[in-house]
Chains A and B, each alone.
Chain A
């Protein structure tokens, strides 16, 4: 019997504003459904992160929480160790921003140094991006998958040469209204569609797990999720065509 796969929810109280715990629940469930033992480990500031996690999750949060999260993660150090050991980091919304080189907070746009795990920088955008988003994600096997979600961010993110876009925007704002959405760099994935984005996008969820486990997983057909995706894609396109 192998050790359970550890899915680490990082500082839910700071970076869990949009139902972000949902992503961890989805990942764990999708492993259990395939007979793979998995633990959900929730760590709050003050307790040390395990360095043994397979997937680490950073979620959405407010400015002050972002600054605190960076400070605690630096002091803790285990996230960096885990990344060196081949863990996967899935960073959403505010978590995506702090994973980068720098981001800004407050009305005076104070520049804060991020975790430096993604070659991206974030500054305040021209206007806040709030609404449903639909993007096209190129999967590693070359096929395309639609990602649907809800974005709500004031920051606009620019990719440096070290990072590539995760997906391309069909409807919505994404990184900076420049047609790109999210960033990938090695085993780090950052994205704006927040909260339980993996619930709506099981292929992305399984991709994270496959990278983390280093092997492919059989599909898990689910009519309810297929129907939810159909409904959301249709709703966003209806809305988008009215813009």
Chain B
């Protein structure tokens, strides 16, 4: 690090027995991951982690020890922000970039994190994308120095029926960690994030630009309907029923630029598109600065990020050139739809567990904005999408098979996909 305040050491030594168990489990996990890859079942990260954790039950906790950890969580933007933050830190490490380990593939549950860490035991800095459900364990077991909370919106309601319960768990974990807890980099514009962070000993607030506020109607603290205030040309939320109010932020997103705590305004030169990625960059920048990286170096690193885990990647399918956009929930669609400018545009919908089994969310997405363009509806739930588009007055055609939907486009097409078809597209395009 540019900053020499922190002493950096090798990851802490485990007991001889624990070390042997972990090594053996890692070796077996590697074999399982290799089998998974060659049989085409996936990248193997999750399988490696599962095997590893079965043979060495404390692997997740053990592998976190002795590293300086930065964790990234929230509903949307975790993968991209993790890539931006890792790139910022690598830039600062220069020739020592191999000291950094990250779960770049987006495998963000305990297995995925354990897998990434097991592959790189000697790395002493870890940038870890962390699922919302794993955050409490990460705080307790990993003692991260920095934890980024991006946003909190409804996602796959058949699994997480109450997002507030997650926020409550974070509050408890932060409270228990006390002064030893992480510095939180948190989105001040999101009431649930603010409430969830309010037991932390130290928070750096970032005010982001957001297209989605439908999940933030009620005060998470007292249940009163939140109001919007306008001051100094900016909208702020406020609870008339209790103390909770939008904190004034150290970092502010203003259009395509970011105002730093010292008043300096920087324009991140990103290769990932969209206003929400400016917001992600602002959070990554704040986290990097908190870790001791100077903003100029951090921004130079972030510039190198092109297609985090395949997001925004341009892929060739036969003669068709396609750009891949991932949208996992209504907030994600609100961000992705304005980016998808092609005509026709391909929308791919599935409803297995990773996508959310319930496709009711189709009616929370403003597909009406596609009117005047042609949509190709594909994926196992293309019929649900077709009915939605019919009511939206959008011209469309159903091509259930993903490969057929992508065949024979003379001009580049944008593809927005839910999680499962997105992973399939990466594989079909040779990116995974």
Q: Is the CB of B225 within 8 A of A46?
A: yes
A202 to chain B, nearest CB (A): 10
B432 interface residue (CB < 8 Å to A): no
B424 interface residue (CB < 8 Å to A): no
A18: B residues at CB distance < 8 A: 157, 358, 360-361
A174 to B310 Cα, complex, angstroms:
41
A130 interface residue (CB < 8 Å to B): yes
Chain B interface residue number, banded: 20 to 34
B217 interface residue (CB < 8 Å to A): yes
Q: Is the CB of A68 within 8 A of B223?
A: yes
A26 to chain B, nearest CB (A): 6
B357 interface residue (CB < 8 Å to A): yes
Tell me the chain A residues, 209-243 only, with Cβ under 8 Å from chain B: 222, 224-225, 227-228, 231
Contacts A46-B225, A224-B387; is A68 near B361 (CB within 8 Å)?
A: no
Q: Is the CB of A14 within 8 A of B217?
A: yes
Of the candidates A45, A63, A131, A224, which one forms a contact with B383 in the assembled complex, judged by CB atoms under 8 Å apart?
A: A224
A68 to chain B, nearest CB (A): 6
B316 to chain A, nearest CB (A): 32
B383: A residues at CB distance < 8 A: 224, 227-228, 231
Q: Is the CB of A64 within 8 A of B364?
A: no
Closest to A154 in B: B161
B164: A residues at CB distance < 8 A: 62, 64
Q: Is the CB of B161 within 8 A of A128?
A: yes
B154: A residues at CB distance < 8 A: 17
B85 to chain A, nearest CB (A): 31
Q: Is the CB of B217 within 8 A of A65?
A: yes
A199 interface residue (CB < 8 Å to B): yes
Q: Is the CB of A130 within 8 A of B360?
A: no
Closest to B390 in A: A224
Tell me the chain B residues, 351-374 only, with Cβ under 8 Å from chain A: 357-364
B361: A residues at CB distance < 8 A: 18-19, 195
A25: B residues at CB distance < 8 A: 363, 391
Q: Is the CB of B158 within 8 A of A130?
A: yes
Of the candidates B214, B225, B386, B398, which one forms a contact with A45 in the assembled complex, judged by CB atoms under 8 Å apart?
A: B225
B387 to chain A, nearest CB (A): 5
Q: Is the CB of B391 within 8 A of A26?
A: yes
A45 to B158 Cα, complex, angstroms:
27
Of the candidates B161, B214, B358, which one forms a contact with A150 in the assembled complex, judged by CB atoms under 8 Å apart?
A: B358
Q: Is the CB of B218 within 8 A of A21?
A: no
Q: Is the CB of A196 within 8 A of B386?
A: no
B162 interface residue (CB < 8 Å to A): yes
Tell me the chain B residues, 371-421 only, with Cβ under 8 Å from chain A: 383-384, 386-388, 390-391, 398
Contacts A13-B217, A152-B157, A231-B383; is A222 near B390 (CB within 8 Å)?
A: yes
A145 to B344 Cα, complex, angstroms:
37
Q: Is the CB of B386 within 8 A of A224?
A: yes
B386 to chain A, nearest CB (A): 5
B157: A residues at CB distance < 8 A: 17-18, 152
A152: B residues at CB distance < 8 A: 157-158, 161, 358
B398: A residues at CB distance < 8 A: 224
A222: B residues at CB distance < 8 A: 390
> Mask for B59-76, Cβ within 8 A of A = 1, else 0?
000000000000000000
Q: Is the CB of B364 within 8 A of A21?
A: yes
Q: Is the CB of B386 within 8 A of A19?
A: no
Closest to A202 in B: B387
A67 interface residue (CB < 8 Å to B): yes
B358: A residues at CB distance < 8 A: 18, 150, 152, 195
B244 to chain A, nearest CB (A): 13
* Residue with the highest number of chain B CB atoms closer than 10 Å, among A20, A22, A72, A132: A22
A66 to chain B, nearest CB (A): 10
* Residue with the highest number of chain A CB atoms closer than 10 Å, among B224, B360, B398: B360
B184 to chain A, nearest CB (A): 24
Closest to A93 in B: B360
Q: Is the CB of A22 within 8 A of B363?
A: yes
> Mask for A33-54, Cβ within 8 A of B = 1, else 0?
0000000000011100000000
Of the candidates B218, B357, B384, which one forms a contact with A64 in the assembled complex, judged by CB atoms under 8 Å apart?
A: B218
A166 to B164 Cα, complex, angstroms:
32
A43 to B358 Cα, complex, angstroms:
26
Of the candidates B162, B218, B362, which one forms a contact with A196 in the assembled complex, judged by CB atoms under 8 Å apart?
A: B362
User: Can you list 5 A-B pairs, Cβ within 8 angstroms, ordered by A?
Assistant: A18-B360, A25-B391, A224-B383, A228-B384, A231-B383
The 10 closest A-B pairs by CB, nearest first: A195-B360, A22-B363, A19-B363, A13-B217, A19-B360, A64-B223, A18-B360, A196-B363, A150-B358, A228-B383
Known: A12-B214, A29-B391, A64-B223. 12 other contacts (CB 8 A): A19-B364, A21-B364, A26-B391, A62-B164, A132-B357, A150-B357, A152-B157, A199-B363, A199-B388, A224-B386, A225-B387, A228-B384
Interface positions of A (Cβ within 8 A of B): 12-14, 16-22, 25-26, 29, 44-46, 62-65, 67-68, 72, 128, 130-132, 150, 152, 154, 194-196, 199-200, 222, 224-225, 227-228, 231
